[in-house]
């Protein structure tokens, strides 16, 4: 096995734009492309290999053929053949809906699925761009419903102005929304379950209001105000800086100004590298791939080392 690139899975969204093409050169044809799924094993949207001898095979086929070599033994023991995370780039031209994701217990019970814990890394933000993350005060379920009914939900939402490099951890139950003018690298559990609670009364291209999941969301929401979402992390150059370490994924930040190498084989996990700035080459010592901003590479667990050749590159490193 060798470092793998996948063909991006591009998603049109009501709130999407064109930055995935203009900034990252993704092969989009629509001017409302909101998401590029970089590494996915979501049923119906499974990534296809773009390079090397496995070109044309799906991620799921590789897992079925080489589970320990690709995932890592302890990952395979824990998750079986279900790839546990989903990697995306998101271009929000307009505000996304205000939404919430269920935890593992509720998702399993209702949808036979993982929950959806996720994190965001802001790659680009227009001046004044904001995210909604949680409530600005403690509320009861009844107060929340009253604001929802009155169309005043935004009055109790917490708004955060953002800049490039800002990082947010969105645990299940936290009501949230990505604001317009932001590009995000998103790392999440493998799940496409979202409860949409408010959509600014927007209509789709056919003039219809989009479906809301008001009742389902009620039991999924954490109604407490919590300041646990902004991630502070070191940005030491040419070193591994831990950003998020949770049961579902570990994400590190690598700011590289020179050639770099790192032992990764002892961690018994696949490693995913998202290039969030700059360019260079990534290699396991045998296969070398050129990588630029907005591209993603999967290093199977069997790869022992990461070699980077660059004069300037920023990577998010994701593993279990």
Residues noted as catalytic:
196
Task: Give the C-alpha distances (Å, rounded to integers) separating 267 from 51, 164, 300, 304, 305.
Answer: 25, 30, 11, 9, 11
Please state, in angstroms and as integers, the Cα–Cα distance from residue 10 to each residue in 90, 210, 218, following that order. Answer: 10, 20, 31
Contact yes or no for 200/212 (Cβ under 8 A): no
118 annotated ligand-binding residue: yes
Query: For residues 319 and 301, what is the distance between their CA atoms, to the nearest angstrom?
Result: 9
Q: What tokens does 260 get?
A: 């770099």
> Does 237 show up as a binding residue in the annotation?
no
For residue 306, the cross-strand partners are: 262
Q: Name, in order, each residue with C-beta under 8 angstroms of 137's C-beta and a sequence gap of 6 or more.
A: 156, 225
Quick check: 296 and 39 in contact, CB under 8 A? Answer: yes
154-175 b/e (C-beta count within 10 Å ≥ 16 → b): eebbbebebeebbbbbbbbbbb
- Residue 101 in marked binding region: yes
Task: Classify residue 111 as exposed, middle or buried by CB count within 10 Å of its CB (0-12, 13-18, 19+).
Answer: middle
Answer yes or no: are the C-beta atoms of 273 and 295 closer than 8 Å: no
Closest by Cα among 184, 178, 162, 187 to 273: 187
CA geometry: angle 34, 85, 305, nearest 5 deg: 110
Handedness of CA 13, 168, 214, 216 (dihedral sign): positive
Residue ranges at the known binding site? 101, 118, 176
Residue ranges at the known binding site for Zn(2+)? 101, 118, 176
């Amino acid at each position: 096995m060798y470092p793998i690139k996948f063909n991006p899975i591009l998603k049109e969204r009501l709130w999407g734009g064109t930055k995935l093409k203009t900034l990252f050169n993704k092969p989009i044809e629509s001017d409302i492309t909101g998401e590029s799924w970089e590494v996915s094993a979501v049923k119906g949207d499974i990534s296809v290999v773009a390079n090397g001898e496995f070109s044309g095979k799906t991620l799921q086929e590789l897992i079925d053929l080489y589970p320990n070599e690709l995932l890592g033994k302890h990952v395979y023991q824990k998750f079986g053949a279900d790839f546990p995370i989903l990697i995306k780039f998101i271009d929000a031209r307009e505000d996304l809906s205000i939404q919430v994701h269920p935890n593992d217990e509720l998702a399993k019970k209702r949808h036979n699925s993982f929950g959806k814990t996720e994190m965001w890394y802001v790659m680009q933000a227009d001046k004044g761009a904001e995210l909604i993350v949680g409530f600005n005060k403690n509320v009861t379920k009844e107060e929340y419903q009253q604001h929802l009914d009155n169309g005043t939900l935004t009055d109790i939402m917490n708004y955060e102005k953002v800049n490039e490099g800002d990082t947010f951890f969105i645990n299940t139950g936290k009501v949230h929304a990505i604001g317009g003018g932001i590009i995000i690298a998103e790392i999440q559990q493998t799940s496409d379950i979202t409860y949409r609670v408010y959509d600014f009364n927007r209509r789709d291209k056919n003039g219809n209001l989009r479906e809301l999941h008001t009742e389902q969301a009620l039991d999924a929401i954490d109604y407490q105000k919590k300041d646990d979402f902004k991630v502070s992390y070191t940005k030491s150059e040419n070193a591994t800086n831990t950003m998020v370490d949770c049961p579902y994924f570990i994400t590190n930040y690598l700011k590289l100004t020179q050639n770099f190498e790192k032992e990764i084989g002892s961690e018994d996990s696949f490693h995913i590298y998202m290039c969030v700035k700059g360019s260079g080459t990534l290699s396991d010592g045998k296969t070398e791939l050129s990588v630029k901003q907005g591209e993603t590479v999967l290093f199977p667990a069997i790869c022992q080392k990461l070699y980077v050749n660059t004069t300037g590159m920023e990577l998010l490193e994701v593993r279990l």
